[in-house]
């Protein structure tokens, strides 16, 4: 099996994304087959990983997937790779609430993989050694196997810090470089297809300043759980997945799960006005607020209400909810949307919700416990007779502890779902029943 290493930071913003992507690019440049992963609920960093490694980056999240789910995911998706690079999230030990759950440390412990700790040493010298010592000893079950110093001022600066760090090798020292960055916006970094990031320059930067050979030596085989793939059944239905600049937040695992349940995945663009011949539709999150005029004029937008009234199962998440609402108000301008639900969305300047979600779906066609995450700068105002299906135990949802607005066989919510914590089969079966009706 492939060996693995996890790149973590002392906190957010220390450069672990740059280091992770640069490491991936450098290893690929060496001719290695690299499997990328990202800890936590993130769509943006994995888009870069996938572009660099030419293998779908996968998310590892012990809250949504469970420890065994994380182990099975790595066993299933690392096949054929030579090394797996796992990008961490936030600070190494930052998990859900005050627990270790969903933290980089929890994933590292679950898989028993070594951690390379990225430390921003700007403005410090010997104090960096105290930080490394604290992180290395905080949880003995987490193997902090190496350190990368970021934003180093000079070779002498590196020497002063390295001389103070004992028993853990310093495997990299990165000078300040304003040219190596990814532009950001309110939902995070730009997606890979929107950026002009030069990965060859990134690879060169890492190769010149990081000891790749030592990192490869430190990597080790993760402890995983058996996950027999099984045969993919012959597809007997089609599910359309909206995929363009407005709708681009998806887990590759969701598409895999659709296929394992007998569905072909057909990608289409609402911005281009495409209306695919399918038996159900899935609208993920993304940036509909950046393209409201295009979506308002789209033939897709105009066709959806009749398809929903006909009984086609249509599922939307966050950006999908905004699009499937009656209207979307952005900067005091109101745009007509698909009008599947008696709800109107308003984009706000303030973050409205961020964090993990948990609830119970009462139906009509998705039932049972669900887990996910929410991250949005909008509010959705619903009519008094609007019907909801997700009773929230954790998270904000749409209104008064409820998420998942329902109309006909259409459902939309703020919650982003992972297939390991969401009844995918129920949705696919609903699409299958619609096809047969």
What is the largest distance, in Å, between two alpha-carbon atoms of the chain?
74
**CA nearest to 39, candidates 84, 81, 76:** 84
Q: Which residues are catalytic?
A: 318
Give φ, ψ of 277 to 5 degrees: -85, 90
Contact call for residues 363 and 409 (beta carbons, < 8 A): no
Could you list the beta-strand ranges (E) of 269-386.
280-283, 285-286, 314-317, 327-330, 333-336, 343-347, 353-362, 367-376, 378-382
3-state secondary structure of 417: strand
Distance CA 31, CA 350 (A): 45
Distance CA 174, CA 148 (A): 8
How far are the Cα atoms of 105, 141, 222, 230 from residue 225, in angstroms, in the given order?
Answer: 19, 19, 10, 15
3-state secondary structure of 129: helix
């Amino acid at each position: 099996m492939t060996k693995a290493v996890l790149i973590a930071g002392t906190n957010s913003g220390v450069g672990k994304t740059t280091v992770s992507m640069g490491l991936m690019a450098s290893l690929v440049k060496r001719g290695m087959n690299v499997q990328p992963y990202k800890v936590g609920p993130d769509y943006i960093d994995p888009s870069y990983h996938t572009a660099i490694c030419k293998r779908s980056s996968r998310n590892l999240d012990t809250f949504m997937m469970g420890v065994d789910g994380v182990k099975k995911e790595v066993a299933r998706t690392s096949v054929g790779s030579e090394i797996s690079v796992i990008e961490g999230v936030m600070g190494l030990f930052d998990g859900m609430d005050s627990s270790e759950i969903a933290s980089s440390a929890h994933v590292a412990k679950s898989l028993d993989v070594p951690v390379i700790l990225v430390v921003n040493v700007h403005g410090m010298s010997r104090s960096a050694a105290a930080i490394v010592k604290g992180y290395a000893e905080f949880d003995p079950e987490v193997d902090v196997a190496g350190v990368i110093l970021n934003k180093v001022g000079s070779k002498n600066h590196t020497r002063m810090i390295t001389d103070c760090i004992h028993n853990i090798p310093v495997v990299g020292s990165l000078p300040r470089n304003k040219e190596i960055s990814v532009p950001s916006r309110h939902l995070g970094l730009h997606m890979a297809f929107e950026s002009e990031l030069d990965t060859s320059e990134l690879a060169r930067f890492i190769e010149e300043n990081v000891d790749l050979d030592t990192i490869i030596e430190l990597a080790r085989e993760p402890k995983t759980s058996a996950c027999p793939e099984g045969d993919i059944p012959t597809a007997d239905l089609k599910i359309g997945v909206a995929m363009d600049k407005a709708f681009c937040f998806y887990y590759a695992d969701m598409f895999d799960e659709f296929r394992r349940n007998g569905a072909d995945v057909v990608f289409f663009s609402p911005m281009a006005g495409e209306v695919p011949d399918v038996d159900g539709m899935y609208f993920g999150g993304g940036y509909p607020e950046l393209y409201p005029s295009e979506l308002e004029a789209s033939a897709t937008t105009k066709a959806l209400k009749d398809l929903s009234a006909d009984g086609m199962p249509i599922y939307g998440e966050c950006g999908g909810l905004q699009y499937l609402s009656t209207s979307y108000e952005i900067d005091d301008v109101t745009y007509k949307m698909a009008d599947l639900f008696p709800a109107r969305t308003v984009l706000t300047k303030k973050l409205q919700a961020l964090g993990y979600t948990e609830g119970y779906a009462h139906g009509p066609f998705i039932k049972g416990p669900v887990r996910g995450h929410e991250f949005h700068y909008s509010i959705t105002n619903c009519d008094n007779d609007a019907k909801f299906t997700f009773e929230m135990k954790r998270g904000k949802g749409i209104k008064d502890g409820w998420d998942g607005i329902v109309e006909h066989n259409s459902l939309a919510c703020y919650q982003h779902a992972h297939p390991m914590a969401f009844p995918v089969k129920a949705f696919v079966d609903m699409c299958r029943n619609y096809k047969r009706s």
